[in-house]
Homo-oligomer: A and B are copies of this chain.
Amino acid sequence: MKQKNLRPFGQQREYTTFDTEPMFSKATEYAIRAVIFIAQKSNSETKVSLQEIAAAIDSPEFFTAKILQKLSGKNVLITSSRGRTGGFFMTDAAKKRPVMSVLEVMGEDELFNKCVLGLDKCSELKPCPMHHQYKTVKKNLIALFERKTIAQLAAEVNAGNSFISSES
């Protein structure tokens, strides 16, 4: 039995963790789910609060706040209003935007420009050995996020066909 020495904080690690990565960052996952919920429950008259959002999508509240601030940045996706009856809402125009626009605000659309093997640039002139096969799949991925609108996803959730929280 090898001795494991204590660390100041953090749990014991095997060192070689190399934990698996999801497609998007947590922030982006929360962002998409939040936007779907806001599209579902709000309009120019009816707003939803941070607490409602975090509860609905089962996300850490204060972290979600940061993300919502970012999403409301250019007021093109979600709009926020302060004060006692404040909250977040989306206009009908915003709801019609593609999911890709969320990825863009989160800066995660760069994923689709990157080399899958980590070369500095993904290019036709100096491709990695996965490039040609990968670009077809990548094209499908992009098309998927370009095609699907936030409103479409919200409608699916509304109909009870799909979910944006793991809870119950």
Contacts and interface: CB of A to CB of B under 8 A. Distances in A.
Residue in A23, A70, A129 with the greatest tally of chain B CB atoms within 10 Å: A129
Number of copies: 2
Contacts of A28: 18
Interface stretch (A3-11, A30-38, A77-85, A88-96): A30-38
Nearest to A125: B163
Interface residues of A, number: 60
A116 B19 contact: no
Interface of A: 2, 16, 18-30, 32-33, 36, 66, 69-70, 99, 106-111, 114, 116-121, 126-131, 133-134, 136-137, 140-141, 144, 148, 152-154, 156-157, 161-166
